[in-house]
Every structure is written in structure tokens, then in C-alpha cells.
DNA sequence: TTAAAGTACTTTGAATTTCAAAGTAAATAA
DNA sequence: TTATTTACTTTGAAATTCAAAGTACTTTAA
């Protein structure tokens, strides 16, 4: 092992992204509005954090219309779930040393 | 409760600062060299993160000489220990739902 | 039926944060 | 003596965070 924080994933190392992932690993889907309300963040801020997770292929983004309104649904990918599990284990290990 | 991440402390919301605090809550003191080696970070980077924690009064900085060499010892303050406990509880709660 | 307000995002770029390279000052090794 | 190492600090470029403003509708109200 290199050092005590080397298994902490930079992509999840921010409270908003940690929150997004925490929501997505227990809910098959969450839409923009739901994430925004659960996290208490501004629109632009949420958009940039979801974009960062999407860029790493940790989450999936699906755009559709519900009735006549646009709707964006986020879900976690297999890669994201695996990486997040590792990250959580790394945090737990760090906090329990 | 406002939202699911509102108890996460921004001051600890970075892997290096999380690592510094994790070390300091279990070791009465840690010096610059020890933190640097345990965390695997560059000097300047470590300095800026310890400075950020010091600014919040979460850690104490004591400068002295060991033999004829400068030595900087860091320790956690009561305020830091309490705030960190809250932070860890917030993370655990977030990850457990 | 036109106007005003609301919804669901996206874009933009200023402010803040992160980070390592370079600097400082003294100790030790060659 | 000169070079290298140690233990930090300073600096500022680069990356990230964040909210204000923008876009493109939809809904409500007069």
C-alpha cells in the first residue's frame, strides 16, 4: 500500500458527488429535481457535478419527456457502483485505523 | 433536517484533510514529515491543507527545534475533534441510506 | 389570448481551491 | 569548501466549484 488515502477516489471526493452516489446506489433512478431537493444545491452546481460523474462513466444520463416536460434521469453504472464500493471501503478503513 | 449532506463539514471534505484529521485523532501529535509520508503528498500541498485546518482552529501548530532542526508538530483541538466526530457521523449516516 | 410566472435544465465565467515548482534557511555530507 | 539534504514556506498557474444568467418550453392568470 502506498499511503493511507490512495484508495480514495478523487471523483467521489466531494460532498455533493458523494451525496449523488449515495442516492443512486439505493435508488434505481433519480431525476434532476429529486437530486436537487435531496442535496439542497443550485441547478448549475448539480449539473456540473453530475457531468463530472458522467464523464467518468460512473453514472448514466437519460433524457425524456414526462407529459410535455423535459426530464433527466440519472442512474449508476456497474463501473460506478464498483468504484463507489471501493471508495466507501477506503473511507471506512481510513476512519477506523 | 435541511438535506442529506448539510452536516458534512466543508473543511474536512477533501481526502487530504480527512487523512490529516484521521491521523491526528488517533495520534496525540504528528509532525510535518510524518503527515507527508503517511499521506504521500507534496510539501506545498500539505502546507496549504494544514493551514486551512489551522485557520478553522481545528488543529494546533507548534514550531520548535529538535536538536538544531526545525520541527512542526500538529495536534487536533477540542473544537476540531468535536467537529470531526460530527463530520464522520454525517458521512456514516449518508452512506447508510 | 397575450402576458407573466414557473419548470427543467444548460451555459458561462468569476471566485475559490488545489497543487507542485521554486524559494529559503539551516544542517550535514563529500 | 561546495554540494546535497532537510524542513518547511511562498507563489501563482491550473483545476474546480458555484451561482447567476440564459434557453426553451409549459402553465397559469387576466
Find the residue in B nearest to A92 (Cα).
B92
Give the predicted TM-score (pTM) of the model: 0.94
How does pLDDT run across A71-97, given as a tens digit for each residue?
999 999 999 999 999 999 999 999 987
Residue A43 CB lies within 7 Å of the nucleic strand C: yes
Strand C, nucleotides covered by protein (CB < 7 Å)? 7-13, 17-23, 26-28
Residue B64: exposed, middle, or buried by beta-carbon count in 10 A (0-12, 13-18, 19+)?
exposed
The third-level CATH classification (topology) of the domain covering A2-96 is Arc Repressor Mutant, subunit A (1.10.10)
Taking 90 as the threshold, does the pLDDT of residue B69 lie above it?
A: no
How does pLDDT run across A4-37, given as a tens digit for each residue?
999 999 999 999 999 999 999 999 999 999 999 9
Go through B39-53 and write b for each residue having 16 or more CB atoms within 10 A of its CB, e for each that does not: bebeeeebeebbebb
Out of A2, A14, A88, the one facing B40 most closely (by C-beta) is: A2
Measure CA to C1' and name the residue nearest D25. A69
Amino acid at each position: 500500500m502506498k499511503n493511507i488515502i490512495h484508495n480514495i477516489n478523487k471523483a467521489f471526493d466531494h460532498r455533493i458527488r458523494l451525496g449523488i452516489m449515495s442516492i443512486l446506489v439505493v435508488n434505481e433512478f433519480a431525476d434532476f429535481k429529486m437530486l436537487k431537493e435531496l442535496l439542497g444545491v443550485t441547478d448549475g452546481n448539480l449539473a456540473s457535478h453530475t457531468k463530472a460523474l458522467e464523464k467518468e462513466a460512473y453514472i448514466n444520463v437519460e433524457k425524456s419527456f414526462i407529459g410535455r416536460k423535459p426530464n433527466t434521469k440519472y442512474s449508476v453504472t456497474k463501473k460506478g457502483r464498483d468504484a463507489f464500493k471501493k471508495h466507501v471501503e477506503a473511507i471506512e478503513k481510513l476512519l477506523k485505523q
